[in-house]
Amino acid sequence: MMHSKGKTMEIRKAMIVDDSESDQFLASNEIKRHDDNIEIMQAYDGVEALEMLAETDEKPDVIFLDINMPRMNGLEFLEEYSKLEDQSPVIAMLTSSNAQTDRERALKFDCVRDYFLKLLDESDMAKLKDL
Amino acid sequence: MNTPFILSIKFKLIFFVTLCVTASLVVSGAYFFNKISDALFRIQVDRLESETLIISPLFASAFNEMKSDLSVISKTPPIQGIVRSTRNDDVDPLDESTTELWRTRLASIFSGVIENKPGYVQLRYIGLADGGREIVRVNNVDGSPVIVAQEDLQKKKTEPYFRNALSLKPGEIYFSAVSLNREHGKVQEPYLPVIRGIIPVHDPEGEMFGMIVINAEYEVILRSVLDDIQIEKDLYVINEVGDYIRLQKDSGNNAQFVFHSLNDGEDESSADVVEQVLSASEDTGTLFERVNSKDVVIQYYKDTDIFEDDSRYLAFALISPQTSFIAPVSEAQREAVLIIILSILATVTLALVFAMLLINPLMKMNQKIRAHEGNDEPLTGLPIHLRDEIGSLARSFSELYEKISLALKDEHAALERLAESEEQFRSAMKYSPVGKALVGLDGEWLMVNDALCKMLGYSEDELRQTDFQTLTYEDDLSEDLKKVQELLDGKISTYKMEKRYIRKDGGTIWGLLSVSLLRDVDGNPKHFISQIQDISDIKKAQQTLEELNTELEEFSYRTSHDLRSPLTSSIGLLKYADESLEKGEQEKARTSLSLAQDSLKKLEELLKDILDLARLKNMEEEEQPVSIKTLVDDALDKFTHMNNYDRLEFKLDLQYDEDVHTKKTRLLMIVENLISNAIKYQDTSKKKSFVKVETYEDGENVVFAVDDNGLGIPDDQQENMFVMFKRFHPRVSFGSGLGMYMMKKSADVIGGDIRFVNKKDGSRFVLILPKHNIREKRDV
* Digit-coded pLDDT (tens) for B392-406: 888 888 888 888 888
**Distance between CA atoms of B678 and B707, rounded to whole angstroms?**
8
**Distance between CA atoms of B632 and A129, rounded to whole angstroms?**
57
Q: Is B778 on the interface with A (CB under 8 A)?
A: no
Give B164's contacts (C-beta < 8 A, 6+ positions apart): B174, B176, B198
Q: B569 CA to chain A: closest CA distance, Å?
A: 6
Give A17's contacts (C-beta < 8 A, 6+ positions apart): A43, A44, A45, A46, A48, A49, A63, A64, A65, A66, A69, A74, A77
Q: What are the tens digits of pLDDT across the range B749-762?
A: 888 999 988 888 88
Do residue A22 and residue B595 have CB atoms under 8 angstroms apart? yes
Backbone angles phi, psi at B85, to 5 degrees: -65, -35
- Check if the beta carbon of residue A90 is closer than 8 Å to that of residue A63: yes
Q: A4 CA to chain B: closest CA distance, Å?
A: 32
* pLDDT on residue B727: 63
**Distance between CA atoms of B298 and B273, rounded to whole angstroms?**
8
Give A120's contacts (C-beta < 8 A, 6+ positions apart): A26, A27, A30, A31, A64, A94
* pLDDT on residue B268: 75
Q: B610 CA to chain A: closest CA distance, Å?
A: 18
Question: A29: which chain B residues are within 8 Å (Cβ-Cβ)?
Answer: 576
- Check if the beta carbon of residue B678 is closer than 8 Å to that of residue B710: yes
Q: What are the tens digits of pLDDT across the range A84-94?
A: 887 778 888 88
Second-level CATH architecture of B52-322: 2-Layer Sandwich (3.30)
Show contacts of B98-104: CB within 8 Å, 24+ apart.
Answer: B102/B77, B102/B78, B103/B78, B103/B135, B103/B136
Q: Which helix (H) or strand (E) holds B115?
A: helix B99-116
**Distance between CA atoms of B282 and B272, rounded to whole angstroms?**
18
Q: What angle do CA B692, B698, B700 make, to 5 degrees?
A: 140
Do residue B730 and residue A119 have CB atoms under 8 angstroms apart? no
Per DSSP, B718 falls in state G
Do residue A71 and residue B573 have CB atoms under 8 angstroms apart? no
Do residue B568 and residue A96 have CB atoms under 8 angstroms apart? yes
* Pairing between β-strand B256-258 and β-strand B284-291 as defined by DSSP bridges: unpaired
Second-level CATH architecture of A13-121: 3-Layer(aba) Sandwich (3.40)
Q: A46 CA to chain B: closest CA distance, Å?
A: 10
Q: Hey, what CATH topology would domain B620-780 get?
A: Heat Shock Protein 90 (3.30.565)
Q: Is B536 on the interface with A (CB under 8 A)?
A: no
Q: List average pLDDT for each run of 10 residues in chain B, which is 780 residues long.
A: 72 84 86 83 82 80 86 90 87 86 90 87 88 88 86 84 86 82 71 85 88 86 72 78 74 63 67 82 82 80 78 82 74 82 86 83 82 74 82 86 87 90 85 90 91 91 92 93 92 93 92 92 91 90 87 79 85 91 91 90 84 79 90 90 89 91 90 90 90 93 93 78 65 65 86 88 92 73
* pLDDT on residue B500: 93
Same fold, B52-322 and B620-780: no
Question: B564: which chain A residues are within 8 Å (Cβ-Cβ)?
Answer: 96
ipTM surpassing 0.90, yes or no? no
Question: B561: which chain A residues are within 8 Å (Cβ-Cβ)?
Answer: 68, 96-97, 99
User: What amino acid is encoded at B536 in this protein?
Assistant: S
Q: Is B561 on the interface with A (CB under 8 A)?
A: yes
Q: Is B563 on the interface with A (CB under 8 A)?
A: no
572-601 in chain B: CB under 8 A from chain A: 572-573, 576, 591-592, 595-596, 598-599
Q: Counting one residue from A and one from B, how many pairs have CB atoms under 8 Å apart?
A: 69
Report the residue from A48, A69, A71 with minimal CB separation from B717.
A71
Question: B598: which chain A residues are within 8 Å (Cβ-Cβ)?
Answer: 21-22
pLDDT tier at A1 (50, 70, 90 boundaries)? very low
Q: Hey, what CATH topology would domain B431-534 get?
A: Beta-Lactamase (3.30.450)
Strand-pair partners of B649:
B690
Report the residue from B557, B576, B728 with minimal CB separation from A99.
B557
* pLDDT on residue A15: 94
Q: Is B370 on the interface with A (CB under 8 A)?
A: no
* pLDDT on residue B768: 94
Question: B558: which chain A residues are within 8 Å (Cβ-Cβ)?
Answer: 68
* pLDDT on residue A2: 42
